[in-house]
Structure 1
Amino acid sequence: MKNLLASILILLVVGCKKEKRVIEEIDFETEYMFNSEIEDKILSDTLTDPRFTGFKYQMGASEYASKGDYQNALSTWDLATGTRDTAYTISEIDSINEKYKKVNAVNLIVKQSKEYKLLIINEAHHNSSHRVFTKSLLKKLYKNGYSNIGFEDLDNGSNKDSLLNKRKYPLQKSGFYMTDPQFGDLVRSALEIGFNVFSYEQTSDVNGTEREIEQARNIQKVIEERPNEKFIIHCGYAHALEGNYESWGKAMAGRLTEFTGIDPLTIYQVLYTEKSKPEFNHPLLKALKLTEAIALIDKEGNPMEYVRGESWSDIAILHPNTVFENGRPNWLIKNGNKMIKLNLKNIEMDYPIMVLAYKKGEDIKTAIPMDILEVENKTEFINLVLRQGEYEIVVRNSNGRAQKFQLNTE
Structure 2
Amino acid sequence: MRTTLATLLCCLMPVVIATAADEPLSPYEWKQRQKVAFEHSERVYADALKRTGLLAQYKAMRDTYRTDKDGAFRIVFGQYLSWYQSFVGDYVGAHDSYSIRQLAASDDAHSPLDGGYTAKPALDEIAELAKGRKAVFFNEAHNVPVTRTLLVELLSKLRAEGYTYFAAETIYASDTELAKRGYPVEKSGFYTMEPIAAEMVRTALHLGFKVVAYESEKEGNGDVREYDQAKNLYERVFKNDPQARLVVNAGYAHIQENGKYLGGRSMAQHFAKLTGIDPLTVEQTMLIEHPAGTENHPYYQKAMESLHPTSPIVFADAAGKPWTLKPKAYDVSVFFPAQVIHDERPTWLTLGGLRTEYSFGGAACQDTFPCLIEARYANEGDDAIPADRLVLDPTGNVENTQDRVIQRHPLTKGSLYLRPGKYRITGQDVRGHALFRQDVTVGSGRPPVAVAQ
Q: TM-score, normalization: structure 2?
A: 0.75
Partner of residue 181, structure 1? 195
Question: What is the deviation of 1:131?
Answer: 1.4
Partner of residue 233, structure 1? 248
Summarize the Cα distance change of 1:306–1:245 in structure 2 as closer, same or farther, 3 Å threshold.
farther
Partner of residue 213, structure 1? 227
Partner of residue 358, structure 2? 340
Partner of residue 25, structure 1? none
Query: Which residue among 134, 138, 159 is the counterpart of 2:151?
Result: 134
Aligned equivalents of 2:267 and 2:286: distance in 1? Answer: 19
Alpha-carbon RMSD across the aligned residues, in angstroms, is: 2.6
Aligned equivalents of 1:345 and 1:46: distance in 2? Answer: 35
Partner of residue 8, structure 1? none
Query: Which residue among 176, 180, 195 is the counterpart of 1:162?
Result: 176
Partner of residue 100, structure 1? 117
Report the residue type matching 1:359 in the other structure. Answer: Y
1:68-90 deviation line (CA, Å, top 9, x unaligned): 21110111013xx4688x9xxxx
Question: What is the deviation of 1:376?
Answer: 1.4
Summarize the Cα distance change of 1:101–1:33 in structure 2 as closer, same or farther, 3 Å threshold.
farther
Aligned equivalents of 1:76 and 1:153: distance in 2? Answer: 22
Query: Which residue among 322, 330, 341 is the counterpart of 2:339?
Result: 322
Aligned equivalents of 1:54 and 1:344: distance in 2? Answer: 33
Partner of residue 192, structure 1? 206
Query: Which residue among 388, 391, 394 is the counterpart of 2:420?
Result: 388
Q: Does the 8 A contact of 1:285 with 1:320 survive in 2?
A: no
Partner of residue 118, structure 1? 135
Identity of aligned residues (%): 28
Partner of residue 381, structure 2? 363
Q: Secondary structure at the residue paired with 1:313?
A: coil
Unaligned runs of 5+ in 1: 1-28, 87-91
Q: Secondary structure at the residue paired with 1:312?
A: coil
The structure whose RCO (Cα within 8 Å, separation 6+) is larger is: 1
Aligned equivalents of 2:63 and 2:257: distance in 1? Answer: 40
Question: What is the deviation of 1:178?
Answer: 1.0
Partner of residue 218, structure 2? 204
Partner of residue 256, structure 1? 271
- Hey, which bits of structure 1, 4+ residues long, moved more than 6 A? 44-48
Q: Secondary structure at the residue paired with 1:197?
A: strand
Partner of residue 107, structure 2? none
Aligned equivalents of 2:299 and 2:69: distance in 1? Answer: 37
Q: Does the 8 A contact of 1:68 with 1:128 survive in 2?
A: no
Aligned equivalents of 1:218 and 1:83: distance in 2? Answer: 31
Partner of residue 407, structure 1? 440
Unaligned runs of 5+ in 2: 1-51, 105-109, 395-409, 444-453
Aligned equivalents of 2:412 and 2:380: distance in 1? Answer: 28
1:47-93 deviation line (CA, Å, top 9, x unaligned): 88x5x763211111111111121110111013xx4688x9xxxxx97
Partner of residue 96, structure 2? 75
Task: Answer yes or no: is 1:62 the counterpart of 2:83.
Answer: yes
Aligned equivalents of 1:125 and 1:45: distance in 2? Answer: 24
Aligned equivalents of 1:64 and 1:33: distance in 2? Answer: 12
Structure number with the higher helix fraction is 2
Aligned equivalents of 2:388 and 2:69: distance in 1? Answer: 33
Aligned equivalents of 1:186 and 1:296: distance in 2? Answer: 25
Q: Does the 8 A contact of 1:278 with 1:321 survive in 2?
A: no
Summarize the Cα distance change of 1:306–1:225 in structure 2 as closer, same or farther, 3 Å threshold.
farther
Q: Does the 8 A contact of 2:155 with 2:204 survive in 1?
A: yes
Aligned equivalents of 1:340 and 1:96: distance in 2? Answer: 38
Task: Answer yes or no: is 1:296 the counterpart of 2:290.
Answer: no
Q: Secondary structure at the residue paired with 2:192?
A: helix
Aligned equivalents of 1:42 and 1:155: distance in 2? Answer: 29
1:87-115 deviation line (CA, Å, top 9, x unaligned): xxxxx97x833242211111111001012
Partner of residue 379, structure 1? 411
Question: What is the deviation of 1:227?
Answer: 1.2
